[in-house]
Amino acid sequence: MIRFIFIALFLVLYLILSCPIMLILLLVRKINAKKADIIMQRIVQCALSIVWHMAGVKLTTLGLDNIPDDQAVLFVGNHQSFFDVIISYSQMKRQTAYIAKKSFKKWPLLSWNMMFLHCLFLDRENLRQGVKTIMTAAEMAREDGISIFIFPEGTRNKGEESELAPFHDGSFKVAQRGKVPIIPVSFNNTAAVFEQHMPKIKPQHVVIEYGKPVFWDELTKEEKKRVGEHFREILTEMVVKNKELV
C-alpha cells in the first residue's frame, strides 16, 4: 500500500507541474513543433520510468531492435494492465501516440498530457466516430511519421493472461491506410503488479517482447480477411512462450 501512496503522490505532483511545462512548450511549438513534441515525450517517458521503477518492476525486454528507427509503425499489443502503457511508452524511440478509451477524456490533467502527445480517444459505441479516429491515426502515421500504439482487444482483459479477447479488425486499418508495418507487442505479468490486488502495488518480473515488423502487403488474402484473429494468434504464441521467463 505504501508503494501505491508514493506513486499516487508522484503522479499528482507530476500532473500539476506538467501544466506550466505544457504552456511553455506551446510557445516553443510556434517556432519548432517537432522539437516541442519530442521534449514533452522525453519528460513523460522520464516520469513513467520513475513510476515503474517505484513499483519495483524488474523488466525484461525482448526484440527492441525490431522497432525501425526510420519510419512510423503500428504497435498492437495484448492488454491487461495500466502498466502496459506506463512501461511501453517509456521505451518508444520515436514519437508515438496511443489510442485510448474515450473515458480518459474526463481526466483533465491526464487528458491534456495525452492530447499534447497526439493521443487519440476512441468511442467504440459510435461506429462513425470510431472509424474517423482510426483514419486520423492512419493519417498521422503516413503524413507526420508518428507511430500508433493500439490494443485491439478494446479494453483491459481481466481473464487468463494467455486467453486474449477477440481483436477488432478495424484497428489494423491504421497499417493498411497509413502504409506502415505492424509490430506485435506481448506483455507478460503486468496485471500482477497492480490489477490483481488493487490498490496494492507489488514488485513483479515483467516481460515485454516486440515482434518482427509485418507489412500489410505481405499478408495473404486469407490473413487480411481475418487480420484480427491472425495477430491474436501471433500474440497468444508470444505470451505463452514468454511465460517461462517470468
Give me the pLDDT at residue 64, please: 96
Q: What is the pTM of this model?
A: 0.94
Give me the pLDDT at residue 155, please: 86
pLDDT tier at 231 (50, 70, 90 boundaries)? very high
Distance CA 164, CA 218 (A): 24
Q: Which one is predicted more confidently, 232 or 130?
A: 232
**pLDDT, tens digit, 9 for 90 and up, residues 193-207:** 999 999 999 999 999
Give me the pLDDT at residue 159, please: 85
| pLDDT(1) > 90 | no
All structural domains of the chain with their residue ranges:
56-245
Distance CA 25, CA 232 (A): 39
Distance CA 24, CA 142 (A): 28
- The tally of CA atoms less than 13 A away on the side-chain side of residue 66 is 17
Residue 5, phi then psi, degrees to nearest 5: -65, -45
Distance CA 246, CA 227 (A): 29
Please tell me the least confidently modeled range out of 123-132, 172-181, 214-223.
123-132
Instruction: Answer whether CATH 3.40.190.10 is correct for domain 56-245.
Output: no
Give me the pLDDT at residue 199, please: 92
Distance CA 153, CA 136 (A): 20
Residue 41, phi then psi, degrees to nearest 5: -60, -45
| pLDDT over 70 percentage in the chain | 100
Give me the pLDDT at residue 201, please: 96
Give me the pLDDT at residue 127, please: 79
Give me the pLDDT at residue 128, please: 85
Give me the pLDDT at residue 124, please: 80
**pLDDT, tens digit, 9 for 90 and up, residues 57-75:** 999 999 999 999 999 999 9
pLDDT tier at 246 (50, 70, 90 boundaries)? confident
**pLDDT, tens digit, 9 for 90 and up, residues 118-173:** 999 998 888 788 889 999 999 999 999 999 999 999 888 888 898 999 999 999 99
| pLDDT(89) > 90 | yes
